Amino acid sequence: MNATRRALLAASALLAAPVSLRAQSQGRILVIGGGFGGASAASFLRREHPEIEVTLVEPRQRFVTCPYGNLVLAGLRQIGDITHSYDRLRARGVRVIHDRAAGIDAAARRVRLAGGETLSFDRMILSPGIALRWNAIEGYDEAASEAMPHAWVPGDGTQTLLLRRQLEAMPDGGVVGIAIPANPFRCPPGPYERISMIASYLKRHKPRSKILALDAKDAFSKQGLFQDGWNALYPGLVEWVPANRDGRVVRVDVREKVLETEFGTRHKVDVANIIPPQSAAAIAREAGLANDAGWVPVNPVTFEAQAAPGVHVVGDANIPGPMPKSGFIANSTAKQAAASAVAAMRGREAPRPVYFNTCYSHVGDEYGISVVNVYRPNAEGTALVEVPNSGGVSPRGDLPEQRRLEAIYADAWYESITRDMFA
């Protein structure tokens, strides 16, 4: 986008905002990243604290969600179904700037945008998501991802569509190889929902094919439930190889379509989906907010970065103790961070949080499972702990009605949360 068009867009965003709100502004919150954390924060602030001026910086004109991307792979959704625009946030008075934050000066409370503009703020909410660690798996860099898609960051949907096309082009009897990283990574049950949805596609269209899932872990989220589902719906189609049976992929050969594991086994596949190790997005690391592992340690009550009070880091970029990197957590912590930011601007104490997470996964077309976790800060407010006796996974056993209902409720969750963020 050229500078004139950007300026015009920014100007129209300003015009669209109710003038009276701007006149009464009682502080400025700058939100960086318009995904699950950022859009949730901006939307929440307009609803609950209309006296605050909210600016959202996000390079993309449209947001394609990771959640439900696996259903696009199965052919159960189109990419348009999971693509959202920023128009309604703008209409609510959020100033949306389509640009990329290029540098954060936390002490001076200023952000420099790639387009040249500098923005000042009283408080910042930073939710830039993850970066993929290119070459953490030898041979897997950005160029390689054009042949072996990751489909693990939303982007403009290209990666998901590429993987879908490769599955469509694969002959019946082919092998789909999936490389899965060690913890922590974005969406712990995500790779296994992906296995399920690819299996659903293969069973219908290419029933002699196979999925070879090579894992850097020995156990995974909702494992019993997923494996029960695979046995019931896709017998013999899925082979999952844990790390202790040489499942960890350490090298890829893009030309030969080979995934090589720790102890030197070379697996030739027809389609390769590589989910590489991850870290916080570049902007958070470059601002000096991340630890050695590449994630941002935060205060569990306010979500301010330990290295930069006043900068609240939410979503997958942070490392919030035991909480998973999920869209649900990004949404609920974004609201807590926004409320804490407003409280701090008014000289008040941050509200006491209860966080809870729900991740639904689709195992089959009418077969859903879920996990719930509830967390609270410990008495000292230094760490988050899971509430005893709460949460847990869906019950195991032959429960067709439970599975059918959870698939329906999963769809309702997607509707509700995306409306909460973008409407």
Ligand X SMILES: Cc1cc2nc3c(=O)[nH]c(=O)nc-3n(C[C@H](O)[C@H](O)[C@H](O)COP(=O)(O)OP(=O)(O)OC[C@H]3O[C@@H](n4cnc5c(N)ncnc54)[C@H](O)[C@@H]3O)c2cc1C
* Token couple for 199: 């299996």
Helix (H, G, I), strand (E, B) or coil at 57: strand
Chosen from ligand HEC, other proteins, ligand X, none, partner binding at 32 (C-beta under 5 to 8 Å by type): ligand X
Give residue number: closest CB to ligand X: 35
| x/- track of binding to ligand HEC for residues 271-310 (CB under 6 A) | ----------------------------------------
Chosen from other proteins, ligand HEC, ligand X, none, partner binding at 423 (C-beta under 5 to 8 Å by type): other proteins
| Cis peptide leading into residue 242 (ω within 30°) | no
Residue selected from 196, 221, 318, 358 as contacting other proteins according to rule CB under 8 A: 358
| x/- track of binding to ligand X for residues 187-206 (CB under 6 A) | x--x---x------------
Interstrand relation of 271-274 and 278-280 (parallel, antiparallel or unpaired):
unpaired
Q: How far is the CB of 374 from other proteins (least distance, A)?
A: 3
* Ramachandran class of 210: left when φ > 0, alpha when ψ lies in -120 to 50, beta otherwise: beta
Is 357 in contact with 320 (CB distance < 8 Å)? no
User: What is the rounded CA–CA span in Å between residue 109 and residue 116?
Assistant: 16
User: What is the rounded CA–CA span in Å between residue 67 and residue 418?
Assistant: 10
Report DSSP letters for 219-266, one per residue: --TTHHHHHHHHHHHSTTTEEEE-GGGT--EEEEETTTTEEEETT--E
Q: How far is the CB of 283 from other proteins (least distance, A)?
A: 26
Q: Between residues 32 and 421, which has the closer beta carbon with respect to ligand HEC?
A: 421
The residue among 347, 366, 369 whose CA lies nearest residue 358 is: 369
Q: How far is the CB of 314 from ligand X (least distance, A)?
A: 7
Residue 223's contacts (CB-CB under 8 Å, 6 or more residues apart) are 192
Q: Which stretch binds ligand X (CB under 6 A): 23-31, 185-193, 300-308, 375-383?
A: 185-193
Chosen from other proteins, ligand HEC, ligand X, none, partner binding at 420 (C-beta under 5 to 8 Å by type): other proteins
Residue selected from 140, 185, 234, 413 as contacting ligand HEC according to rule CB under 6 A: 413
Q: Find the binding residues for ligand HEC in span 334-393 (CB under 6 A).
A: 358
b/e sequence 51-62, b meaning 16+ C-beta within 10 Å:
ebbbbbbbeeeb
59 touching ligand X, by CB under 6 A: yes
Q: At what angle do helices 400-422 and 327-345 cross, to 10 degrees?
A: 40
Q: Which stretch binds ligand X (CB under 6 A): 87-95, 125-133, 379-387, 401-409?
A: 125-133
Q: At what angle do helices 400-422 and 36-48 cross, to 10 degrees?
A: 60
367 touching other proteins, by CB under 8 A: no
391 touching other proteins, by CB under 8 A: yes
Chosen from ligand HEC, ligand X, other proteins, none, partner binding at 408 (C-beta under 5 to 8 Å by type): other proteins
Q: Find the binding residues for other proteins in span 6-45 (CB under 8 A).
A: 44
Residue selected from 22, 204, 205, 352 as contacting other proteins according to rule CB under 8 A: 352
E strand or H helix at 344, and its extent?
helix 327-345
* % helix, strand, coil for the chain, step of 5: 35, 25, 40
Residues in contact with ligand X by CB under 6 A are: 32-38, 57-60, 63, 66-67, 69-70, 100-101, 127-129, 152, 154, 186-187, 190, 194, 281, 283, 315-317, 325-328, 330, 359-360
Residues in contact with other proteins by CB under 8 A are: 44, 48, 328, 331-332, 335-336, 339, 342-343, 346, 348-349, 351-356, 358, 370, 372, 374, 387, 389-392, 394, 402, 405-406, 408-409, 411-413, 415-417, 419-420, 423
